Amino acid sequence: MSQAACLHPNPGWTGAEIFSASPEAPSATEMVGKHCILELYNCDSAKLDDEAFLRNAITTAAKRAGATLLNLITHHFQPQGVTGLALLAESHISIHTWPESGYAAVDVFTCGDHTMPERACIVLSEELNAGHYKLKSFRRETPVAVVGAEREPELVAA
């Protein structure tokens, strides 16, 4: 098993980072999604600076997470570095790279029970040949006020 294959110590989310609610926070009844913040260190600098490679890696990460990729935008900076944002039906994946430091900052947020954002983290860690990583994950809770509420897109007059 590779180092990244065990990236998340507990994919069942037991013992995931828990934050206490402030007195002003609305009460929550269920989980709306899972959020992973991933720091990748000692990555392959050439891959961190390769926009086409990162587009493929992000696409693969979204698929492995069980998410639906709606749109993918990337930008290559001069002299180096890439930012990518994948719009998912379930939320998003973002990556910001610093090839000169071998570092990438990744954010993966997915809604629904069918997605596994930690799988996207594994893909990106492996694809970028990360020598070291830090992963923080937590649940996003649904406020009572929106439980059962239906959302409809706003119609715009032509």
Any catalytic annotation for residue 91?
A: yes
How far from chain centre, in Å, is Cα 2?
20
Let me know the angle formed at the C-alpha of 125 by 98 and 51, rounded to the nearest 5 degrees.
Answer: 45
45 is catalytic: no
Nearest residue to 66 (alpha-carbon basis) of 5, 114, 15: 114
CA 15/CA 36 separation, integer angstroms: 14
Please indicate whether residue 76 is annotated as part of the active site. Answer: no
Compute the distance between CA of residue 105 and CA of residue 84 in angstroms, rounded to an integer. Answer: 11
Given the residues 35, 43, 45, 91, the one annotated as active site:
91
On whether the CB atoms of residues 108 and 120 are closer than 8 A, the answer is: yes
**Helix, strand, coil % (nearest 5) of the chain?**
25, 35, 40
Which is the catalytic residue, given 111, 121, 125, 137? 111
The answer to whether the beta carbons of residues 36 and 118 sit under 8 Å apart is yes
To which H or E segment does residue 13 belong? none
Residues marked as catalytic: 91, 96, 111
